[in-house]
Structure 1
Amino acid sequence: MNSIAKLLVALALVSLTTGCESFLDVNDNPNSVTPDQVVPSAVLAQALKVTGDTYGLTLNTYGSWTAGYWGKTGTVNGYNEERTYTYSSTYQQGFWGSTYDNLKDYDNIDKAASAQGLLYHAAIARIMKAFNFQLLVDQYGDVPYSQAFQADAATPIISPQYDKAEDIYKDLSLQLEQAVASIKGAPSTTQGVGSEDVVFGGNMTNWVKFANTLKLRILLRQSFVTSLDGYVRAEMTKLQAAPDGFVTTDVQVQPGYAQTTGKQNPFWNQYRATAAGTGASSRNWQAGTQYIIDQYVNNKDPRVAQLYYLATDGDFKGTYKGVVLGDPNPLPGSTQISRWKDYGGILKGYDAPVPLMLAAESYFLQSEAKSRGYLTGGDAAAKTDFNNGIRASFVYYYTPAPSQSTTANNVSANAVPDYTKYLADNTANPLVSWEATGASKLEKIIYQKYLAMNSVTAIEAWNDYRRTAFPKFPASLQSSSPRADKLPVRLLYPQTEVSTNASNLPGNVSQFTTKIFWDVTD
């Protein structure tokens, strides 16, 4: 490429830094250039925004169905896969393609930033590669990893081999560890990260904490595999010594969501309203299940009023009425059941940020690690983290979107008082009180984590169920699963891989019997 052509490419990429004017130019494809032509600061915001779309909408939707948060209403037909778990190779296949495209963005940033001495940009890209690869492994198991980004190499590999999920997981921990070391060891002259970081705004200490917390999540997911116990404990010892600790605030993507076509929060845009203010097409097609609503109502949990409306019509008027997944005759999705509350804890608003990890999850991860002896602190420290996790959930659900901060929808002042009352009202409840007997410490932690992730980071609740078998939520009434719990265990490899990479594709994969390696508890 001659110098003029290089200049034109650079100018085109720099135009991405105009950010919100074209909402990160999300239709531009940084994969069309080679890594040496990439301007990391011009691509990072776009890559982070796409991760938010995938995690906050695609995986949150899938997890909400499989983890028992959502059921179909009588407003629409369809949802056969969600009602029966009879997955095909096209079900959710967009997740695979969009995630690998996103990973290619991060890989380009990593390589270009490393070559240009932009150590902070490279570290962020490496952390986000670990984040996204874990998402893939958790739903598919073995995936292309070591050969994933070699289609444009000197010797191109267009049909990458599949790496073992166990091996990928171990390398993800290593990559996170190296990213942290790179950040901590960067010279004072290293160029900082600015507004292109739409997660932490260039705060590298927070990126270190996020990397530590991701590693903690990864290790706990491996922790029930007997053969990995020694490895997990050794890696936990490293985390114990990490001076910056774990995240204590919600990790969220905020690229500048606004009430404009193509710029709204993706969950709001899909399930509440268009930029013009009209109801989204799928608004009333799904609703909270009776199971999840009962967990709040039966435990006198004030969060229920922040998440759901009371039914306003029909036999259940004035009550919190959910749907049953797989019910052949479900109630309509408008007035006879409890819809998600507008500007509440789930439907926060068109400009609400998208969570990548809740502070509540971080605290519950720490509580589990301490209660099981992986991190020091013992029962007292585990209790503190457990209660902090519940508190953080109240704070998240009660915090409004930016546009609602000066309206009546801002109930953030009620979060801590309602949390305090919730604990006071449940001193003998084994699923709420740390000291109450009747449930193991693990069951308490996963149960409260389940309540905190409802329709927000639902994929993690689904992952936790497969890992721990808690909580015991009901499967669809129309389940075709032969398992005792009547649930699936994974997604099938997408048709795109079946069609283009069949020679490397693992064989005999079933959504009911082919578990992810860390899924050893039934």
Structure 2
Amino acid sequence: MKSFAKLLLAAVLTTGATGCESFLDINDNPNQAISVTPDAMLASALATTAANYHGGPTNYNTYSSFAVGHWTKSGTVSGFNEEQTYNYTNIYYQGLFSNTYDNLTDYNIIQENGTAQGFPNHAAIARIMKVYNFLLLVDQYGDIPYSQALQGAANTTPTYDKAADIYKDFVVQLKGALTDIDAATAGRKVGAEDIVFQGNMTKWKQFANSLRLRILLRESQTNDAALNTYVATEMATLQASAGTTGFITADVVAQPGYASNSGQQNPFYNRYGFAVGAINATNEYSFVIPTQYVIDQYESNKDPRITELYRVGKRENNPAYVGGILGQPSPPTFVSTNSTVGSRFLQGGTFLRGGNAPTVLMLLAEHHFSKAEAHSRGLFTGGATSAEADFNDGIKASFLFTYRAAGTAPTTLAAASAATPGISQYNTYISTNLTNPLVNYKLAPINGTLGRQQVIIYQKYLAENTVASTEAWDDYRRTGLPNIPLSLRVATKRAVRLIYPQSEISTNQANVPKDTDQFMKIFWDVVD
């Protein structure tokens, strides 16, 4: 028997190669609620989040991959002017705003109907995913409609809430979701419509805890004494709560039944890999290349992961991994002769495993590096010993993700053995870098040029390359790390946020914050 998710997939996946933006989205009119039960909506909402986050025509990770220096343009395409110059406009990636709010409307319906119709766990999942999506919006735009949002025709011009206030409510909502799950002793259970955890509500609680850690860490370095006290208190509460419930133990992925059929492929693969039945990669495959900065980090540390990420290019007719300059002009700087060819994503490698690969919502590596930072800065108890353990686990989790075979589910660190793909490569990487403070945590000083936060963010940056660039971009703005040399980028002043979209200005102009541009920082962006 086919699973619910696959039955739903067969019914509603009618989009073609360019239709991933509305992948499984069944609520096209946010001003008119639909009469569908929460269990019938959940898979659609989760799959839409996955496409919005990574791979759809307008998604957070593509924007962030350019912004944080994982990607740059190749020499085979014009365009990408905003990515290269940071001259953002109010139509640049404006779909992120409207698409995310449309997705949030779905979750809001699930939450409201779930509570009213006896689907309490569906409502709790929706509550968690509302925080996940609102967080994406706040981190790219700052102040947004929140308390008056998602009311449809009842309020088409919602006011804007302060980003810092919204952040505090995120924690309230996630705590509330855990309480809701604990209280859900009756009502309809969650099943295969949950394309993330297959109805395992303990894992949803763990995900909520890891999401709380992401949120609290993001706002942990401001100059606001009251906020710093709040974060310290909430971190202690979170660590105590996680002692019972725990955090995520494997990569969090969405798998709605991606398959190598028309309209059913993983959205990132569909965009940068191969169309169904095609023998040549898509046009966009040749449009982007890694930056030389990213290439240099793998090569300088003898990091074997590079062989799973990129094809070898060539420089002066010699095989080599070749990247471009962040924010480079057109034509790219490295194109000095016809014999220089930039590297591309490895076909069949980590980024392009196949049309049936799941979409990442949160990496286990990110979570462990976040814990390592919390321990190293005294936000969690445990000190240097716990920080080092999580740092190493973050690297190991990245290797497990990088080398995971196509079609296999994410594994836990506890379940990994010497035979698990990625473990032998991880061991080699560690043994090769025993004297390298970027890899050996014991050698990183507490403060100074190569402090412990720097090496944690450095390894986190590499682990999140292309797959979770949104989180790397947020960390870059929060910490100023990694410190990408000016010699490897063209523009000395980098954009730090998106501009409110024209669609919002046209419909809600009276409430849109005035005098904002791409260089106005989010409230937690204060370090650099």
TM-score by length of 2: 0.89
Query: What do residues 17-55 of structure 1 show as CA deviations (whole Å, max 9, x unaligned)?
Result: 831213557363264686583300111100000000011
Three-state SS of the structure 1 residue aligned to 2:360 is strand
Following superposition, the deviation at residue 506 of structure 1 comes to 0.3
Matches within 5 A, 1:38-437: 38-57=36-55, 58-152=59-153, 156-187=154-185, 189-225=186-222, 226-227=224-225, 228-242=227-241, 243-277=244-278, 278-311=280-313, 313=314, 315=316, 317-325=318-326, 326-330=328-332, 336-402=341-407, 413-437=420-444
Distance across 1 between alignment mates of 2:80 and 2:324:
14
Three-state SS of the structure 2 residue aligned to 1:318 is strand
Structure-1 residue corresponding to 2:526:
520
Write the letter of the residue equivalent to 1:194. Answer: G
Query: What do residues 405-445 of structure 1 show as CA deviations (whole Å, max 9, x unaligned)?
Result: 9xxxxx98440111111111111212111111462111111
Question: Are residues 204 and 27 of structure 1, via their aligned partners in 2, closer, same or farther at CA, if it must alter by over 3 Å?
Answer: closer
Distance across 2 between alignment mates of 1:500 and 1:399:
46
Determine if the alignment matches structure 1 residue 473 to structure 2 residue 462: no
Write the letter of the residue equivalent to 1:452. Answer: A
Distance across 2 between alignment mates of 1:32 and 1:148:
11
Following superposition, the deviation at residue 327 of structure 1 comes to 4.0
Three-state SS of the structure 2 residue aligned to 1:37 is coil
Structure-1 residue corresponding to 2:414:
none
Determine if the alignment matches structure 1 residue 486 to structure 2 residue 493: yes
Structure 1: runs of 5+ lacking an equivalent: 1-14, 406-410, 480-484
Write the letter of the residue equivalent to 2:310. Answer: Y
Query: What do residues 97-155 of structure 1 show as CA deviations (whole Å, max 9, x unaligned)?
Result: 10000000000000000001211000000000000000000000000001111224xxx
Question: Are residues 302 and 35 of structure 1, via their aligned partners in 2, closer, same or farther at CA, if it must alter by over 3 Å?
Answer: same
Distance across 2 between alignment mates of 1:139 and 1:396:
27
Distance across 1 between alignment mates of 2:6 and 2:113:
16
Write the letter of the residue equivalent to 2:262. Answer: T
Following superposition, the deviation at residue 335 of structure 1 comes to 8.0
1:309, 1:340 within 8 Å by CA — same for their partners in 2?
A: yes
Structure-2 residue corresponding to 1:19:
8
Distance across 1 between alignment mates of 2:348 and 2:356:
11
Structure-2 residue corresponding to 1:482:
none
2:13, 2:263 within 8 Å by CA — same for their partners in 1?
A: no
Following superposition, the deviation at residue 198 of structure 1 comes to 0.5
Distance across 2 between alignment mates of 1:358 and 1:16:
23
Distance across 1 between alignment mates of 2:317 and 2:88:
34
**Greater shift in the superposed pair: 81-90 or 178-187:** 178-187
Distance across 2 between alignment mates of 1:35 and 1:334:
57
Three-state SS of the structure 1 residue aligned to 2:253 is strand
Following superposition, the deviation at residue 477 of structure 1 comes to 4.5
Following superposition, the deviation at residue 349 of structure 1 comes to 1.2
Three-state SS of the structure 1 residue aligned to 2:361 is strand
Q: Quick one: which of 511, 521, 528 aligns to 1:504?
A: 511
Distance across 1 between alignment mates of 2:6 and 2:166:
33
Distance across 1 between alignment mates of 2:340 and 2:190:
48
Structure-1 residue corresponding to 2:18:
none
Question: Are residues 36 and 437 of structure 1, via their aligned partners in 2, closer, same or farther at CA, if it must alter by over 3 Å?
Answer: closer
Structure 2: runs of 5+ lacking an equivalent: 15-23, 411-417
Following superposition, the deviation at residue 185 of structure 1 comes to 2.3
Question: Are residues 320 and 92 of structure 1, via their aligned partners in 2, closer, same or farther at CA, if it must alter by over 3 Å?
Answer: same
Write the letter of the residue equivalent to 1:418. Answer: Q
1:349, 1:403 within 8 Å by CA — same for their partners in 2?
A: no
- Count of aligned positions: 492
Write the letter of the residue equivalent to 1:142. Answer: D
1:248, 1:362 within 8 Å by CA — same for their partners in 2?
A: no
Distance across 2 between alignment mates of 1:420 and 1:71:
31
Write the letter of the residue equivalent to 2:350. Answer: G
2:27, 2:102 within 8 Å by CA — same for their partners in 1?
A: no
Distance across 2 between alignment mates of 1:374 and 1:403:
35
Write the letter of the residue equivalent to 1:273. Answer: F
Distance across 1 between alignment mates of 2:340 and 2:259:
28
Write the letter of the residue equivalent to 1:387. Answer: N
Three-state SS of the structure 1 residue aligned to 2:83 is helix
2:250, 2:364 within 8 Å by CA — same for their partners in 1?
A: yes
Distance across 2 between alignment mates of 1:196 and 1:65:
34
**Greater shift in the superposed pair: 332-341 or 119-128:** 332-341
Three-state SS of the structure 2 residue aligned to 1:321 is coil
Query: What do residues 367-402 of structure 1 show as CA deviations (whole Å, max 9, x unaligned)?
Result: 111111111111101110110000000000111221
Distance across 2 between alignment mates of 1:487 and 1:108:
38
**Greater shift in the superposed pair: 366-375 or 139-148:** 366-375
Question: Are residues 111 and 288 of structure 1, via their aligned partners in 2, closer, same or farther at CA, if it must alter by over 3 Å?
Answer: same
Question: Are residues 336 and 445 of structure 1, via their aligned partners in 2, closer, same or farther at CA, if it must alter by over 3 Å?
Answer: same
Matches within 5 A, 1:439-450: 439-450=450-461
Question: Are residues 17 and 78 of structure 1, via their aligned partners in 2, closer, same or farther at CA, if it must alter by over 3 Å?
Answer: closer
Distance across 1 between alignment mates of 2:264 and 2:359:
13
Three-state SS of the structure 2 residue aligned to 1:241 is helix
Q: Percent identity between the aligned chains?
A: 47
**Greater shift in the superposed pair: 252-261 or 96-105:** 252-261
